[in-house]
Amino acid sequence: MSKSVTLKDVAAKVGVTSAAASMALAGHERISAKTRAAVKQAADDLGYVPSSAGRALRSQRADAVALVVPNSSAHVFGHLYFMHVLTGMSTAANAHDAQVIVSTNADTSDGGVAYERVMRSRTADGAIVTSAAIDDTHIEALVASGLPVVLIGNYPHLTDAVSVGIDDVAATERLVEHLVTVHGRRRLLHVSGTLDHQTGIDRRDGFLRAAAAAGVTDVTVVEGDLSEASGAAAVERLLAERTAGESLPVDGIVFANDDMAVGGLGVLRRAGIDVPGEVAVVGFDDFGFARVTTPGITTVRVPAEEMGRIATERLFELVDRRPGGAAHTELPVEVVRRGSCGCDPDETPDPS
Partner DNA sequence: CTGAAAGCGCTTACAG
Strands 299-301 and 334-336: antiparallel
Could you tell which of a copy of itself, DNA, none binds residue 147, using a CB distance below 5 to 8 A set by kind?
a copy of itself
Please give the sequence-ordered ranges of beta strands (E in DSSP) within 131-285, or none if there are none. Answer: 149-152, 162-166, 187-192, 218-223, 252-255, 280-282
CA–CA separation, 343 and 339 (whole Å): 5
Among positions 253-272, residues that touch a copy of itself (CB under 8 A) are 262, 266, 269
Binding to DNA by residue 175, rule CB under 7 A?
Answer: no
Please give the sequence-ordered ranges of beta strands (E in DSSP) within the chain, or none if there are none. Answer: 64-69, 99-104, 126-130, 149-152, 162-166, 187-192, 218-223, 252-255, 280-282, 299-301, 328-331, 334-336
What are residue 241's phi and psi, to 5 degrees? Answer: -65, -35
Binding to a copy of itself by residue 6, rule CB under 8 A?
Answer: no
Could you tell which of a copy of itself, DNA, none binds residue 22, using a CB distance below 5 to 8 A set by kind?
DNA
Q: Among candidates 61, 62, 47, which has minimal Cα distance to 6?
A: 47
Torsion over CA: 145, 148, 152, 154 (sign): positive
User: In the complex with DNA, which residue's Cβ is closer, 7 or 113?
Assistant: 7
Largest CA distance in the chain: 92
Could you tell which of DNA, a copy of itself, none binds residue 159, using a CB distance below 5 to 8 A set by kind?
none
Could you tell which of a copy of itself, DNA, none binds residue 311, using a CB distance below 5 to 8 A set by kind?
none
| Segment interacting with a copy of itself (CB under 8 A) among 73-81, 132-140, 213-221, 247-255 | 73-81
Binding to a copy of itself by residue 128, rule CB under 8 A?
Answer: no
User: In the complex with DNA, which residue's Cβ is closer, 1 or 244?
Assistant: 1
Which x/- pattern over 58-77 shows residues binding DNA (rule: CB under 7 A)? xxx-----------------
Q: How far is CA 55 from CA 60, 63, 67, in A?
A: 8, 9, 22
Please report, as ranges, the residues that interact with a copy of itself according to CB under 8 A: 1-2, 4-5, 44, 47, 49-54, 56-57, 62, 64, 77-80, 82-84, 86-87, 90, 94, 99-104, 106, 110, 112, 114, 116-118, 120-123, 145-148, 262, 266, 269, 288-289, 292-294, 305
Please report, as ranges, the residues that interact with DNA according to CB under 7 A: 4, 6-8, 16-23, 25-26, 30, 32, 48, 50-51, 53-55, 57-60
